[in-house]
Amino acid sequence: MPIVTDSGFDFETQADAMLSLEALLSGGGDPASGLEVANDTDPRDLVPHFDGIGLIAVTFPNFADGRGFSLARRLRALGYEGRLRAKGHVISDQYPMARACGFDEVEIDEALATRQPEEHWLAVTSLSGHALRARG
């Protein structure tokens, strides 16, 4: 399960068992090692817990479902400053979008990592992607 960042694939970082949203909201666990949420989560539910959350992983059930991008933007807007990960079916062409929306990294499965190897991801990290944004 590689983690993709701007410097490429990282196979070292252990994917810790992550807490579910239900467990967090019912007070049944510590989110310090990570919290995994679906892309239809209401981000306002997480605000009181932001300080204790070590990592939020937003799941992407399918690359064509773009809700995770807006959820990331909302989490950032609400003040979440910790690590934010897009997890699941995210293709290399979407990496710049994920970064621009506030994600720090992407977690993909072995099969996708084999089909879309590290160089495909590194090739897109420098794209500006957006004329308006680039112009600043």
Partner 1 sequence: MYRYDEFDDRFVRERVASFRSQVERRLSGALTEDEFKPLRLQNGLYLQLHAYMLRVAIPYGTLDAPQMRQLAMIAERWDKGYGHFTTRQNIQFNWPTLQDVPAILDALADVGMHAIQTSGNCIRNVTADHFAGAAADEIEDPRPTAEILRQWSGGHPEFAFLPRKFKIAVTGSPNDRAVTKAHDIGLRMLRNAAGEPGYEVIVGGGLGRTPMIGKVIREFLPKNDLLAYLESVLRVYNLHGRRDNKYKARIKILVHESKLENIRAEVEAEFERLMAEEAGPTHALSAKEVARIEACFAPPAFDDAPDRALDLDAALAADTDFRAWVKTNVTGHRQSGYRIVTVSLKLIGEAPGDASADQMRALADIAERYSVNELRVSHEQNIVLPHVRAVDLPEVFACLQQAGLATANIGQITDIIACPGMDYCALATARSIPVAQDIANHFSSPAQAAEIGKLQIKISGCINACGHHHVGHIGILGLEKAGIESYQITLGGDATETTAIGEYAGPGFAYDDVVPAIQRLMDAYLALRANPDEIFLQVYRRLGAAPFKAALYPASNGSTGSGSGGSGKRPPEPKPHLIASAQAHQATQAQFVFYHF
Using CB under 8 A, list all residues that contact partner 1: 40, 63-67, 69-71, 73-74, 77, 91, 93-94, 96-101, 115-117, 120, 123-124, 127-136
Q: What kind and span of H or E run contains 25?
A: helix 21-25
Q: Which is nearer to partner 1, 13 or 130 (CB)?
A: 130
Q: Which is nearer to partner 1, 28 or 129 (CB)?
A: 129
Q: Which is nearer to partner 1, 73 or 83 (CB)?
A: 73
The least CB distance from residue 9 to partner 1, in Å, is: 15
Q: What kind and span of H or E run contains 135?
A: helix 131-135
Q: Which is nearer to partner 1, 5 or 33 (CB)?
A: 5
The least CB distance from residue 133 to partner 1, in Å, is: 5
Task: Measure the CA–CA gap between 124 and 116, rounded to whole angstroms.
Answer: 12
The least CB distance from residue 130 to partner 1, in Å, is: 4
The least CB distance from residue 106 to partner 1, in Å, is: 13
- Are the C-beta atoms of residues 23 and 51 closer than 8 Å to each other? no
Q: What is the largest CA-CA distance in the chain?
A: 46
